[in-house]
């Protein structure tokens, strides 16, 4: 069974021979984890009409190729994410690949600010005058990046989301051809947020939004109608908005469609392509009324979040659909939705403050200490409890107690239903 590296290293068809698809969106979403500072040009300051005219006349003049990033003196710090070695290997494969090596990289922008809790980066990838992919980086390993993720639970807009909208509006008018917008994890959230909140002119340029195992938004931030309007503004169709946007739901009843997408390699009419692995722990967080397509992964638990673990069809046309979303993922969504629904914004912020105070008190340096080793987790927890101030300990203890109670109550209810058929 092929996986992402197999695809990048062995797919010989160019974009002239095989159209852009879901696997390509996953590949370029991961390429956003490459730090292109000093090599990939920043967003152009030219007036949009002049910038676009130059690109139309000389498409190869825009940006650089992946080969231009192959500078070993820059490798230290160039690759981010939980497994930076995977991103380094990906760059090598992209630079050699006949499918990707002629893509042009441009518009690199990165903002990192601990004071405002901002972690943002974006890169645009163009193929001649045929299409562009505006890609947003997912979360890096910094505490700042992870804190901004948690802030999404109680803020209508975190700084990275506002920057994503500004970036999309700037780039949209300067890019020829079909426009794709996407990202993985937090990057997928930024892509969809930017598409939902950008100007009508920028929105009209968008052909597809790719959300790969991306968290949603705080409850009530967007309504189903917002997603339908996005599909219509993007030119998805004029006949039936619901058909274009999928079965949009605003409640917690269903995160996915009843059946997988029909036909490997066939993109749905919906202009928002939301994809999650079968046991997703990230893509089910917060709220998004767009049904998700569920795909198979060869990993367990949190490691399914990595697109490098998602199975690809033998003909390398598309990801392999799973039968359904795992019960654990649906249960996680339901429990967290009830838990967050029981807190107002102020209380939610207090809980997040206490959680990150605990992480700081534990001695964890970055996300890899929590998810991939470093100190053993029991030691981290012990250090956090010992070093955390009393007020934060009380806030966090109460919140976690409420979470445990909700989980236990739902588990008990599910057991009764299983026994008595209720």
Q: Of 296, 326, 356, which closes a domain?
A: 326
Q: Is residue 357 part of a domain?
A: yes
In tens, the pLDDT along 142-164 reads 889 999 999 999 999 999 999 99
Mean pLDDT of the chain: 86
Same-domain pairing of 243 and 355: no
Q: Which two tokens stand for residue 321?
A: 């659909």
> Within this chain, do residues 322 and 356 fall inside the same structural domain, yes or no?
no
Whether the CB-CB separation of 357 and 389 falls below 8 Å is answered with: yes
Final residue belonging to a domain, choices 284, 299, 326: 326
Tell me whether residue 128 is in a domain.
yes
pLDDT of 260: 35
> Is 290 in the same domain as 351?
no
pLDDT for 383 beyond 70: yes
Domain of residue 40, CATH code:
3.40.50
Query: Residue 28 falls within a domain, yes or no?
Result: yes
Q: Which of 277, 300, 326 is the last residue of a domain?
A: 326
Residues 128 and 231 in one domain: yes
Which structure tokens are listed for 216?
């949603």
Give the Cα separation of 310 and 226 in Å (integer).
30
Identify the band that residue 267 occupies on the pLDDT scale cut at 50, 70 and 90.
Answer: very low
Long-range contacts of 372-375 (CB under 8 A, 24+ apart): 372/82, 372/83
Ranges assigned E (strand) in 186-330:
206-212, 272-277, 293-295
Alpha-carbon span 6 to 316, nearest angstrom: 9
Q: For tokens 């967290």, what's the residue? A: 336
Q: What is the largest CA-CA distance in the chain?
A: 70
Is residue 282 included in any domain, yes or no? yes
Residue 183 within any structural domain of the chain = yes
Residues 218, 358 share a domain: no
Could you tell me which of 320, 278, 325 has the C-alpha nearest to residue 303? 278
Considering the domain boundaries, does residue 333 fall inside one?
A: no
Calculate mean pLDDT across residues 92-109. 98
**Is 239 inside a domain boundary?**
yes
pLDDT tens digit string along 39-74?
Answer: 999 999 888 888 888 888 887 778 999 999 999 999
Predicted confidence band at 172 (pLDDT cuts at 50, 70, 90)? very high
213 vs 274: CA distance, rounded Å: 7
d(CA 345, CA 351): 10
Question: With DSSP H G I counted as helix, E B as strand and the rest as coil, what are the percentages for the chain, rounded to 5?
Answer: 45, 15, 40
Which residue from 134, 122, 130, 312 is spatially nearest to 206, judged by alpha carbons?
134
Cα angle value 318/233/160 (rounded, 5°): 75
pLDDT band for position 324 (cuts 50, 70, 90): very high
More confident position, 232 or 282 = 282
Bridge partners of residue 184, in order along the sequence: 212
Between 196 and 412, the more confident residue is: 196
User: Are 129 and 65 part of one and the same domain?
Assistant: yes
pLDDT given for residue 56 in this prediction: 82
pLDDT given at position 253: 36
From the CB of residue 241, how many other CB atoms can be counted at a distance below 10 Å? 16
359 and 264 share a domain?
no
Provide the residue range defining the domain that includes 348: 343-420
**Percentage of the chain lying above the pLDDT 90 cut:** 68
CA distance 373 to 141: 13
Same domain, yes or no, for 234 and 295? yes
pLDDT for the residue numbered 270: 41
d(CA 138, CA 187): 4
* Per-residue pLDDT, 277: 98
Task: Please tell me whether residues 144 and 197 are part of one structural domain.
Answer: yes
334 in any annotated domain: no
Do 322 and 399 reside in the same domain of the chain? no
Query: pLDDT (tens digit, 9 = 90+) per residue, 184-217?
Result: 999 999 999 999 999 989 998 999 999 999 999 9
Helix axes 84-96, 22-31, angle to 10 degrees: 120
- Name the pTM for this structure: 0.88
Alpha helices in 177-250 (DSSP H): 186-197, 200-203, 224-233, 241-245
326-360 b/e (C-beta count within 10 Å ≥ 16 → b)? beebbebbbbbbbbbeebeeeebbbbbbbbbbbbe
Q: What is the mean pLDDT of residues 287-312?
A: 95
Count of CA atoms in the C-beta half-sphere (13 A) of 22 = 31
Q: Which one-letter DSSP state was computed for residue 101?
A: T
One domain for residues 127 and 52: yes
State the pLDDT confidence band at 255, using cuts at 50, 70 and 90: very low
Asked whether residue 193 falls in the same domain as residue 246, the answer is: yes
Number of independent structural domains in the chain = 2
Strands 131-136 and 118-127: antiparallel
């Amino acid at each position: 069974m092929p996986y992402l590296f197999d695809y990048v290293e062995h797919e010989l068809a160019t974009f002239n021979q095989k159209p852009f698809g879901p696997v390509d969106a996953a590949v370029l979403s991961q390429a956003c984890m490459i730090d292109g500072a000093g090599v990939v040009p920043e967003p152009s300051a030219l007036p949009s009409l002049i910038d676009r005219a130059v690109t139309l006349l000389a498409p190869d003049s825009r940006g650089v190729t992946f080969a231009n990033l192959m500078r070993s003196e820059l490798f230290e710090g160039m690759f981010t994410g939980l497994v930076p070695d995977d991103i380094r290997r990906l760059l090598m494969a992209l630079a050699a690949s006949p499918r990707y090596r002629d893509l042009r990289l441009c518009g690199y922008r990165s903002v990192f600010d601990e004071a405002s809790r901002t972690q943002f980066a974006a890169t645009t990838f163009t193929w001649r005058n045929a299409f562009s992919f505006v890609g947003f980086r997912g979360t890096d390993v910094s505490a700042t990046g992870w804190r901004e993720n948690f802030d999404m639970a109680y803020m209508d807009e975190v700084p990275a989301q506002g920057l994503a909208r500004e970036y999309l509006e700037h780039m949209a008018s300067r890019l020829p051809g079909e426009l794709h917008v996407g990202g993985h994890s937090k990057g997928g959230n930024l892509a969809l947020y930017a598409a939902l909140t950008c100007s009508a002119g920028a929105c009209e340029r968008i052909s597809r939004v790719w959300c790969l195992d991306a968290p949603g938004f705080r409850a009530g931030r967007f309504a189903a109608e917002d997603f339908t309007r996005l599909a219509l503004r993007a030119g998805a169709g004029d006949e039936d908005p619901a058909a274009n946007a999928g079965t949009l739901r605003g409640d917690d009843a269903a995160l996915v469609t009843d059946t997988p997408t029909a036909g490997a390699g066939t993109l749905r009419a919906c202009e928002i392509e939301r994809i999650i692995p079968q046991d997703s722990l990230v893509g089910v967080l917060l709220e998004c009324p767009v049904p998700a397509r569920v795909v198979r992964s060869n990993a367990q638990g949190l490691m399914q979040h990595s697109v490098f673990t998602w199975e690809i069809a033998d003909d390398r046309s598309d990801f392999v659909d799973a039968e359904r979303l795992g019960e654990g993922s649906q249960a996680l969504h339901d429990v967290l939705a009830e838990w967050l629904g029981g807190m107002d914004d102020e209380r939610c912020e207090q809980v997040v403050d206490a959680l990150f105070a605990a992480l700081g008190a534990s001695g964890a340096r970055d996300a890899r200490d929590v998810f991939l080793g470093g100190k053993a987790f029991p030691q981290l927890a012990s250090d956090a409890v010992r070093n955390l101030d009393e007020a934060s300990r009380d806030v966090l203890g109460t919140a976690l107690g409420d979470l445990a109670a909700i989980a236990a109550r739902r588990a008990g209810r599910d057991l009764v239903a299983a026994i008595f058929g209720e």
